[in-house]
Amino acid sequence: MRSLVISILLISFAVIGNVFALNAVSLEREKLRKEEGISLVMPSAVARIAALEFKGIFADIIFSRAMTYYGGKLIRKEEMTGEEWDWIYKNMALATDLDNYFLDPYYFGAMNLSWGANKVKEANALLEKAVKYRDWDWTIPFYLGFNHFYFLQDNEKASFYLMESAKREISGSLIATLAARLAYQGRRTENAVIFLEEILKKTDDNTIRNSYEMRLNTLKGIFFLEKAVAVYQDRFKKQTEGLDELVAKGIITAIPKDPYGGKFYIDKDGSIKTTSEMR
């Protein structure tokens, strides 16, 4: 009987002590975390070996750890330093090395690194990896195209990725249109023609087809004229003065019609444009 009482007392005492100690430990851990800051990120090659067959779970853990860190900063309304953003990037790169197809780290990294940290290069590096692996997902090249257009003002690249995106997204008339416009301004007429033909193959809806076909015909006209200009320059070793010159010199028989009702002309920078601006 006495030993029972002693045991119970001892256990109760130890349980209370345990709770106290653990609370103190939490505080100590908090301090420790602050001091050590962000931890080192394991090299991908090592992680891939160490994760054995549980690479997917490892990727999940690494991703959610970084997300928790970022979330904590947001809640405490603290600014992320450049070093911390680098850490986030490395974690996302590691998570996507462990699972090449994992969308969340691509998405989280790309969105926050470009908008939040102004690290567009890193964001795009992640997205480029994603484009390679998630080769069915139209959203990835779309974001990448957007980053090139908006942050880097690189219309040519933007158009390239938007085309890729439109190719993947079957009913995406909007992306297609956007891509075509960028392509046109970025002197990638030929790509835009191919791309629109590709999209047309995938489109059943008649009204959408019509708008595509108009755009396609315009681009074909521009492409036709671009080639003629190139031939002209090749033959006469000088700039073309106007499109009529091409007809006069017999390179083409007639200037094609713009389906939008505009007129084709040679702009100051030498590119072919139309007065309708494809609207």
Partner 1 sequence: MIAIWSVASITFKEGIKNRVIFGIFIIALLLFAATTVVTTLFMRDIVKVAVDLSLSTVSFSGLLTLLFVGVNLFGKDLDKRTIYMVISRPISRSEYLIGKFFGLVMLSLTVVVFLGILSALPVIISKNFYYYSEARFNWLIFFLAVVYIFVKLAVVSSVITLFASLTSNSFIALVLSLVTYIIGQSTESVRLLLASQVEKIEVSPVVSYMVDAAYYIFPNFSAFDLKTQAAHGLSISPSYILWTGLYAVFYITVAVAIGTLAFRRREFP
| Shortest Cβ 104–partner 1 spacing (Å) | 5
Tokens of 249: 């010199």
Decide if residue 204 touches partner 1 (CB under 8 A): no
Would you say 133 or 224 has its CB closer to partner 1?
Answer: 133
What is the CB neighbour count within 10 angstroms for residue 135?
12
Which of 103, 194, 208, 251 touches partner 1 (CB under 8 A)? 103
Give the residue from 114, 2, 111, 97 showing the smallest Cα distance to 51: 97
Decide if residue 57 touches partner 1 (CB under 8 A): yes
Buried b (16+ CB within 10 A) or exposed e, 178-192: bbbbbbbebbbbebb
Residues in the chain: 279
Decide if residue 56 touches partner 1 (CB under 8 A): yes
Alpha-carbon distance 109 to 92, whole Å?
A: 6
Stretch touching partner 1 by CB under 8 A, among 53-61, 120-128, 186-194, 232-240: 53-61
Burial class of 50 by CB neighbour count within 10 A (0 to 12, 13 to 18, 19+):
exposed
Which of 53, 204, 234, 267 touches partner 1 (CB under 8 A)? 53
Provide the CB-side half-sphere exposure for 94 (13 A, CA): 28
Would you say 105 or 221 has its CB closer to partner 1?
Answer: 105
Would you say 142 or 195 has its CB closer to partner 1?
Answer: 142
Decide if residue 170 touches partner 1 (CB under 8 A): no
Give the residue from 153, 155, 73, 145 showing the smallest Cα distance to 110: 145
Which of 5, 40, 45, 75 touches partner 1 (CB under 8 A)? 45
Residue partners of 6: CB distance under 8 A and separation at least 6: none
Stretch touching partner 1 by CB under 8 A, among 51-59, 120-128, 216-224, 263-271: 51-59
Decide if residue 154 touches partner 1 (CB under 8 A): no
CA dihedral (30, 32, 35, 38) in degrees, to 10, reads -80
Decide if residue 54 touches partner 1 (CB under 8 A): yes
Would you say 139 or 217 has its CB closer to partner 1?
Answer: 139
Decide if residue 64 touches partner 1 (CB under 8 A): yes
Residues 123-152 that bind partner 1 (CB under 8 A): 134, 136-139
What is the CB neighbour count within 10 angstroms for residue 241?
11
Q: Report residue 137: phi and psi, to 5°.
A: -95, 110
Positions touching partner 1 (CB under 8 A) are 45, 48-50, 52-57, 59-60, 63-64, 99-104, 107-108, 134, 136-139
